[in-house]
Structure 1
């Protein structure tokens, strides 16, 4: 259905046929990388199965690219035509405006209790869960086994070893000894992984922004002095290097090491790159907390279909459907039961290292409505911290100021 058709359809009352018939509308993101595995196919199959068992309910799913989906949902909500459900990147703004059902309003106790605890917590605002995790991922340090073997190296476990490995790779003529994508595409993720590895993060233990903490300044000072200034991050300035370009360079054999999520396995394997994966090195050993990422399902109160939405979502979060989705798109399941199945299944062995990181992972402060503005500021500015004439302390102080202002406006 076209965007215009969608808008027109959403203008209706959402009820079709007899008084007992209900049409639920879901807007979802596309996780596929081609027409062959678009998320529309996943949802069409799931909906067909659901509707056959629930004759009074129709479910219409419209899938948009990640480039468009958050904006499309915002436009619908702003026009007073919210869908019943949205599966997108952030929920906090809508929760803050009291537009969403809570998970308690919708899900069975067994479904709600099955969410991985740190994902369920990340979906809460003031102790009430509005964001239901839909897909999850963690990050590991990928390294090129061929390049490491040629240089006589083993995978690093500390920053010092990472820098020494990068020096050795540079001496072998490797283009990007360590690829540091701090460009605007996804700098907030690379930044968070490094902040965590230095014992810091975006927020302190009570959830207050602490971007310019001593640990964070130390982390970016080390990155600038020991990696970037020594020419160990490649020919493109980190602030201009995007994640997609870094992944492509790894798949071309031009990168020694970089942080990656599960999809990089497939990208590298297609090009015949032999890779290894280890937890992100920290100051004195492997990082205690990896970075976790989650995308969210939410349900809008506008159309008043709590009962029907709840039953449909209970089906969406059944083991079979969670596993089918996770396996199709190389993502981690958001439920404990599906995670247990995947951790012992031979077909999921490639994902197990990421799965092992999930219980110790830390998510960005997605419960804050200010996070969108802070994330955008990090994407725009963090590259300056490691630039030739940059100051890590000054850049992090600017970002902290942005965060404090954004938080005070909440």
Structure 2
């Protein structure tokens, strides 16, 4: 997919693969994310499908449900599947069968202003929810926002809900049900509300409106929750902050355990209509093996697909913080209809309702009913 890796990485991989697999010719075609769902579904139904495709990790269920994706369960041991990041491996596994092979991951961390932390007397990043609230309150003085957290940052909310033992939706038998109205999910939303109140983030928009990197770049925001790559945008906007930005994993409920995070990223799938299944597997095995996982992690600042490879990114503070959190990574409910939930996203509406004073239980019940209806459609 476009921008997943650099041209230089692709060139290195092609050159190396050609040397080690002289009987296989690669034809790599780059695709745009916009409209890719329909394109992949059509390819899977064709008789002349690509041999290997990169797909978003949360899209695997949708494609597997449409049919035409090869079951690679018998390959997991050969690919060190026991060591895969759960947030990548889980979405690729549907009804006990592994269709998607984890390729790379990214997740949110806390990006913070080192100068503002020092001025508040905070010498080390917090490691628990309680300490995070206390430190953010210290930072929230005068013109400084302790944290800029928009009201509809629902991926972050999902992590807080998972920390409490809840979920966005669960499956019982063959039916999915929205579960934002459970006590655990409500506790996650309450923590989000308390944290969000320690800043001036809008209650009715997400991190893109306005772009939170631009807000942080003004220099009076102590923390945002973002992928580490957001720091580059901040420094481009305000070069004076170069070298003054730090990172730490989103804190969990207890010290020593990072908070749960949504794991974004990509899996590799092999269409059943591929004419070269053995060659396709060799490409998957190479891209997900130690050599190219390490190269890609260092080139792209991604989290490798296996926990044992986290050491490959320890030299990069932002990616190291991301890798620490990735061990507690999860994904959205593994339903082929989840994309339809995100299209209207009642979770965002629910969050705004709670943050603007509506009864949390009633708002959660309304959102859960909407999710249940969409997942059952």
Query: How far apart, CA to CA, are the structure 2 residues paired with 1:318 and 1:70?
Result: 27
Alignment-derived partner of residue 63 in structure 1: 30
Secondary structure of residue in 2 paired with 1:180: coil
Correspondences of 1:189-338 after superposition (within 5 Å): 189-203=155-169, 209-224=178-193, 226-228=194-196, 230=197, 232-234=198-200, 236-242=202-208, 245-268=211-234, 271=239, 272=242, 274-282=244-252, 289-293=259-263, 294-336=265-307, 338=309
Asked whether the equivalents of residues 177 and 257 of structure 1 are also in contact (C-alpha less than 8 Å), the reply is yes
Secondary structure of the residue aligned to 2:79 is: helix
Deviations 1:116-138 (A, max 9, x none): 16243442111110011111123
Higher relative contact order (CA 8 A, sep 6+): 2
Between stretches 275-284 and 137-146, larger displacement belongs to 275-284
2:106 corresponds to 1:133: no
- How far apart are residue 70 of structure 1 and its match? 4.0
Q: In structure 2, what is the equivalent of residue 142 of structure 1?
A: 111
In the alignment, what sits opposite 1:95? Answer: 64
Deviations 1:55-88 (A, max 9, x none): 4432222223444544543454567764322212
Deviation at 1:285, TM superposition (A): 5.4
Conserved in 2, the CA contact under 8 Å of 1:138 and 1:357? yes
1:362 aligns with 2:330: yes
TM-score by length of 1: 0.75
What CA RMSD, in Å, does the superposition of the two structures yield over aligned residues? 3.3
CA distance in 1 between partners of 2:126 and 2:230 (Å): 19
Say if 1:133 and 1:334, in contact at 8 Å, map to a contact too.
yes
Alpha-carbon distance, 1:396 to partner: 2.2
Contact 2:298 2:312 in 1 (8 A): no
Distance 1:133 1:244, change over 3 A: farther
Instruction: Label 1:49 to 1:241 Cα distance change in 2 as closer, same or farther (>3 A).
Output: closer
Per-residue CA deviations over 1:10-35 (Å, capped at 9, x if unaligned) read xxxxxxxxxxxxxxxxxx3423xxxx
**CA 1:141 to 1:108, structure 2 compared with 1: closer, same or farther past 3 Å?**
closer
Distance (Å, rounded) in 2 between the aligned partners of 1:150 and 1:310: 54
Give the secondary-structure state (helix, strand or coil) at the position aligned to 1:326. Answer: helix
Is the Cα contact below 8 Å between 1:158 and 1:282 reproduced in 2? yes
Q: Distance in 2 between matches of 1:93 and 1:205?
A: 16
Q: Could you say what secondary structure the match of 1:338 adopts?
A: helix
Q: In 1, Cα distance between the equivalents of 2:54 and 2:24?
A: 19
Number of aligned residues: 364
Which residue of structure 2 lines up, in the alignment, with residue 73 of structure 1?
40
Confirm or deny: 8 A CA contact 2:46 2:273 kept in the other structure. no
Q: Displacement, 1:379? A: 5.9
User: For the Cα contact (< 8 Å) 2:128–2:254, is it kept in 1?
Assistant: yes
The answer to whether the aligner puts 1:86 opposite 2:53 as a matched pair is yes
Which ranges of structure 2 fall in alignment gaps of 5 or more residues?
Answer: none
SS at match of 1:181: coil
Tell me which of 157, 169, 175 is aligned to 2:139.
169
Cα pair distance change 1:149/1:237, threshold 3 Å:
same
Which residue in the other structure is 1:16 paired with? Answer: none
- Distance in 1 (alpha carbons) for counterparts of 2:136 and 2:200: 10
Q: State the partner residue of 1:50.
A: 17
| Equivalent residues of 2:112, 2:224 under 8 A apart | yes
Q: TM-score, with normalisation over the residues of structure 2?
A: 0.81
Separation of aligned partners in 2, 1:78 and 1:248 = 43
Query: Secondary structure, in 3 states, of the residue corresponding to 1:64?
Result: coil
Partner residue of 1:22?
none
CA contact (8 A) 1:262 1:331 kept: no
Distance 1:44 1:378 in 2: 43
Q: How far apart, in 1, do the equivalents of 2:203 and 2:131 lie?
A: 22
> Secondary structure, in 3 states, of the residue corresponding to 2:223?
strand
